[in-house]
Amino acid sequence: MIPIIITVILVVIIAKGIRIIPQSKAYVVERLGAYHRTMQTGLHYVIPFIERTANNVSLKEIVKDFAPQPVITKDNVTMQIDTVVYFQITDPKLYTYGVEDPINAIENLTATTLRNIIGELELDETLTSRDVINTKMRSILDEATDPWGVKVNRVEVKNILPPKDIQESMEKQMRAERERREAILKAEGEKKAAILIAEGEKESMILRADAAKQSKIKQAEGEAEAIVKIQEATAQGLKLLKDAKMDEAVLKLKSYEAMVDVANGNSTKIIVPSDLQGLVTAGTVLKETLEKKEK
């Protein structure tokens, strides 16, 4: 019975010393109170009562958002600034034995570094130089934490909170600047609109004048063409009358027709032309001519 109990105790003791280290973890092992080794990912064994795990460390990148810190600028303005630090443990042994409470040490180091950097800048520079502040802080923190087995990858200034009176002054200044820009843009818009309207009116007047000019030209050309057509028609009629050798007879016939129109009217007086005999002769000639054409 006793051997069985001893065997069980030994099995339990042996099983208790088995360690399985997960990914992105590292265990610091001490033997009899002194650092012995660092166990990485995989299966390991720790001798019970002789060795112990002093610390288990995450090798992942760690993000710490530290509380706002009061800082004073070069022009004596007190403001609150909070930072975010991205760091990674590169040496578990140094991280375990290098400093007491590494996270608190990094936070205090971040606060003092931030105060030193902001103390060299004025308010306006602080508000517009975040990249400069981030770069300087990362460089200083990375160098300072190297003995602790920590590598600082990034530092970001999260919020910069000036005093309330300065915030109100900045808001008024920004509001005045926006109103100034708005007034400039409005004036430029009105100027461009006036220019466009003037150009439009100018082009409209030019087009109307050109249209009137073209209309007069077309009208004059039409009148000239009409006059030419009338003259051509008159010349053609005279030519036809001349070719028919009826110039005198036609004139006398027209005179006769005019007399008939007068006689058929309401006039109370009739003026008889002196060349009545010639008119009769012309009528006789016209009658004979028409009879010959009918035959």
Q: What is the pLDDT of residues 227-242, one digit of tens each?
A: 888 888 877 866 766 6
Answer with the one of 58, 79, 97 that is the final residue of a domain. 58
**177 domain residue, yes or no:** no
Which pTM was predicted? 0.56
- Most trustworthy range by pLDDT among 99-103, 176-180, 241-245, 285-289: 99-103
Q: Range of 131's domain?
A: 61-162
Answer with the one of 162, 187, 205 that is the final residue of a domain. 162
* Helix, strand, coil content of the chain in percent (nearest 5): 60, 20, 20
- 277 burial via Cβ count (<10 Å: 0-12, 13-18, 19+): exposed
Residue with tokens 């430029």: 188
Q: Are residues 75 and 120 in the same domain?
A: yes
Which residues 6+ apart lie within 8 Å of 279 measured at CB? 252, 255, 256, 273
Answer with the one of 116, 138, 162 that is the final residue of a domain. 162
Q: What is the pLDDT of residues 84-142, one digit of tens each?
A: 999 999 999 999 998 888 999 999 999 999 999 998 888 888 888 889 999 999 999 99
**Helix (H/G/I), strand (E/B), else coil: 276:** helix
The total domain count for the chain is 3
Pair 55, 17: CB distance under 8 Å: no
